[in-house]
Structure 1
């Protein structure tokens, strides 16, 4: 497949669209909550395409609320209703029905940073926590969002951790999350009969991008002192995933290929007829659908480019390669 590795029309268009929508939502939600007695206890997070600066008119908005008061969430029911009205007024597509995101997704911050890997660490908790780090941004409460992210990163990276090592706790949870969503995909499509085609393509591109953009943060934190690890980690997580890859790999041959293949993915999904065709694809007949076949082929190029990028950026002696296997 021939691709122009220098033109990223759909990536740039989506970034501009995302920025405009986020500004509108932030302004209206801020106005809405300005008189609320609980406004200093509420932080609204968005992840997904809006967290990655990849949103289009076809995108839904994954969001949840961190409410840090020792009071039942019912006390902010009016605020939640108002927030939901703002979002549905500007976002046409309804948030998914899993309960992980949307107006019913309200958590305490302690729930996000405690029990990591424990019996109470549900798939919902894992998903919110990792997406908050890897691709999250704020809709309300910018300063609290930044403080929560710092606290969460400090939970993963301890002051007494050896400076020469990568943050293995963080890396292992990123790996666990990626493997969980891959397994969850099989469950949802096989057991719950969720649509297969579009989910599969997103797993091949955007979900893989999230994972990759996280493991390179862990790789970058090798040979740094504790405070340096925290500050650099926060700076990297502040960047959108594609921006992170582009910045760290500015001189790598694999970077233009990553951007070109991802541009191709976004260009196809920007076409409503393509999304509709993919939504109708079932696993047993996937190779009979030309749209799926083309994107599947491009996804192999995308994966190869990511692998090449990792080898180009970090020589064979770098521990990231060993850590991803063992």
Structure 2
């Protein structure tokens, strides 16, 4: 049991759609990607109908599909998540899933080995920080928190999320936070989000060093846009309880619905906010602080990014672009300008739109 509350609730209203109404405009490529993502999730569910999942296993999708940004060129990052004892049948299930996905023409994950197999909740929960927390383990853990969706076995995903947040919130609390009556941002969790963002940036350069002319431009674009976006989601996720206590996901419930400890309330609210796609998370915060100009620039730039990924010839051009030819390449130059606009607009949201948000971002995101 995840907790005393029911998690299988109807999908909440889309903060992105509300933001479009608020701004009075739409973003065609984002809209198309969201429709495409929901279609693919339906197809994926049908593809897995013939598979047998145990009570302790779930099929979890990551990446653009979980962010509702799937395009025709997107690959499918997935894992068979085990939250319980391991057995050889889980490996056999993962092989059967691979065959089903291949037959249905889903693009397989990249060659890194991060996705496309079995993963255990034990490492995700117990190996946070320290020598045992490898890049692969940290990536699986943070992506589970920032961009994941259960196609099968959501009770498994929710159970692991609950235990992860318990580790971050209850066992990572400060002396001050343990006695506070109000909710305090989870510094342990926020530090891990910051570490993950910096690791993604360093890994980008590492891959460029090892293979300087292989997909570096595509990785560069993803780092400027989608990777940065999920980091901002994580940052906003952690700051939200202080930024908008009146709009906190559980604040409208009667007091007796809460567990007594503040960290339990924090944990429950975080678990609900995790379900928002990254774009919706940014839209929600921008509307809370009335940052319409910043949000418009964010969505315009991101729409341009997705339009490049959705176009087969443009995506292929980025995959094959040599580093020494990038400065003269019009597509890369345009995308780099859009990336700067996107980054500047995110900075405007965090540091120039609202004094309270700025103070929180400084306190928890910088130091």
TM-score, normalised relative to structure 2: 0.81
Map of 1:278-297 to 2, 5 A cutoff?
A: 278-297=318-337
Deviations 1:270-291 (A, max 9, x none): 1111111111222222111100
Judge conservation of contact 1:249–1:313 (CA < 8 Å) in 2: no
Q: Does 1:260 align with 2:300?
A: yes
Tell me the distance in 1 between the aligned counterparts of 2:90 and 2:44: 19
Mean Cα displacement is larger for which, 221-230 or 5-14?
221-230
Tell me the distance in 1 between the aligned counterparts of 2:169 and 2:100: 37
* Candidates 259, 263, 273, aligned match of 1:236: 273
* Candidates 61, 65, 76, aligned match of 1:50: 65
TM-score, normalised relative to structure 1: 0.91
Alpha-carbon offset, residue 165 of structure 1: 3.0
Which residues of structure 2 form unaligned runs of 5+? 1-22, 246-261
Deviations 1:134-161 (A, max 9, x none): 0111121012211211211111111754
Judge conservation of contact 1:6–1:260 (CA < 8 Å) in 2: no
Judge conservation of contact 1:167–1:222 (CA < 8 Å) in 2: no
Tell me the distance in 1 between the aligned counterparts of 2:28 and 2:197: 28
Tell me the distance in 1 between the aligned counterparts of 2:115 and 2:67: 16
Judge conservation of contact 1:217–1:233 (CA < 8 Å) in 2: yes
Q: Does 1:89 align with 2:103?
A: yes
Tell me the distance in 1 between the aligned counterparts of 2:142 and 2:355: 24
For the residue of structure 1 that corresponds to 2:58, the secondary structure is strand
Residue of structure 1 equivalent to 2:82: 67
Q: Does 1:324 align with 2:361?
A: no
Tell me the distance in 2 between the aligned counterparts of 1:232 and 1:91: 37
Deviations 1:250-299 (A, max 9, x none): 23121111111101111122111111111122222211110000000010
Alpha-carbon offset, residue 5 of structure 1: 8.0
Which residues of structure 1 form unaligned runs of 5+? none
Tell me the distance in 2 between the aligned counterparts of 1:309 and 1:236: 19
For the residue of structure 1 that corresponds to 2:75, the secondary structure is coil
Judge conservation of contact 1:198–1:275 (CA < 8 Å) in 2: yes
Q: Does 1:140 align with 2:152?
A: yes
Aligned residues: 316
* Candidates 172, 195, 216, aligned match of 1:196: 216
Tell me the distance in 1 between the aligned counterparts of 2:90 and 2:264: 37
Mean Cα displacement is larger for which, 235-244 or 222-231?
222-231
Judge conservation of contact 1:45–1:139 (CA < 8 Å) in 2: yes
Mean Cα displacement is larger for which, 263-272 or 79-88?
79-88
